[in-house]
Amino acid sequence: MTPSHQPPGQGFRSWQPSDTEQIAAVLAACGLKECADLERWRWKHERHPRFARDNVLVITVGDRVAGCAHTTPLPMRLQGRAQVLTSFDGEFGVLPEFRGGGVMRQGHAITHEVLRGRGVALRGGFTSIELHRRFYRASFGYTRIALATRSYLRFLRPDVVQARADRLRARWADLAAATRRRLQGFAMEVALRGMPVFTIRVEADGPHLRPAPDAGAAVRVEGPAALLHLFAGGAPRVRHLVRAIIRGRVRVRGWWRRPLAMFSLMMRLARPG
């Protein structure tokens, strides 16, 4: 990841483990506070089953990380037929004092060559119309296509489950004492295809989502990322989960250990209110 021409003192290379904290600082300086959370960054990128060092371009000035760009190559099926490797781009950031001079265009060109070498046929991302006009189209020539972006976000990370866990925890004291006792200490590890593992653990104040595996979890759920739709809007769709289990699309390991706690927690997380 080294271009043939670069400004004095400036360089481009792949991610190294020692870069993570400086990358978080760059993203925070660019106003991307959510992306700058270290644990979230490690979960989303470093722990992703398809993560590679070349997924993250690091822009350096001397020994300092001055900027970064993230790509996520994932397979995508077009209209249910052809499957192509697609890169979802995002989290571009350069510290204000190092902006200008075409640094991001140069970085984008480098990632383009790397992705092409890995067999990526399409690349894009999800953003607002205004940011697309001001940045992505102006800087990189991206074309806007109307897509269901909310569906993509559900596949990318379990925010929709996090929101349900937060709401359930807010009304935890209102649940019957017997229900709280039944759920206390229960932990469910969730491993969805194409996503890093996360865990839902019930503590004294209610359920918490942790972006990491849990060796002590009583239950492990394995299946497609589409399982997250169970928690996305509308009424509970437990029948969809049962159908997926019967058809072998979802595996629930250890369900016999605490079956009442597992189904009770999933029902409550699936409720929209």
Mean pLDDT of 44-72: 89
Give domain 156-270's CATH number out of 3.30.1050.10, 3.40.250.10, 3.40.309.10, 3.30.70.1400. Answer: 3.30.1050.10
Strongest mean pLDDT among 37-51, 90-104, 200-214: 200-214
Residue 8: alpha-carbon gap to chain centroid: 35
Task: Give the pLDDT band (50/70/90) at residue 72.
Answer: confident
Which is more confidently placed, 212 or 231?
A: 212
Least confident of 128-137, 178-187, 227-236: 227-236
The fold of 10-147 is Aminopeptidase (3.40.630)
- For 63, the 3-state DSSP assignment is coil
- Please give the helix or strand (H or E) that residue 57 lies within, else none: strand 56-61
Which is more confidently placed, 166 or 136?
A: 166
Least confident of 3-17, 159-173, 255-269: 3-17
Q: How many helices (H) and strands (E) does the chain have?
A: 9, 10
Task: Return d(Cα 177, Cα 171) in angstroms, integer.
Answer: 13
Cα torsion for 90, 223, 51, 71, to the nearest 10°?
-20
Sheet containing 251-253: give its strands across: 206-210, 198-203, 187-192, 219-223, 251-253
Query: Could you tell me the pTM of the whole model?
Result: 0.59
pLDDT at 160: 72
pLDDT at 155: 43
pLDDT at 241: 64
Q: Is the pLDDT of residue 247 over 50?
A: yes
Task: Give the pLDDT band (50/70/90) at residue 153.
Answer: very low
Domain boundaries, given as residue ranges, for the chain: 10-147, 156-270
Q: What is the pLDDT of residues 169-228, one digit of tens each?
A: 999 999 999 999 999 999 999 988 777 889 999 999 999 998 889 999 999 999 877 677
AA identity, residue 114? V
Which is more confidently placed, 95 or 35?
A: 95
Q: Please provide residue 203's backbone torsions phi and psi, each rounded to the nearest 5 degrees.
A: -105, -170
Q: Average per-residue pLDDT in the chain?
A: 81
Of all residues in the chain, the percent with pLDDT exceeding 90 is: 31
Look up residue 210 and give its two tokens.
Answer: 């942790």
What letter would DSSP give residue 163? H
pLDDT at 238: 60
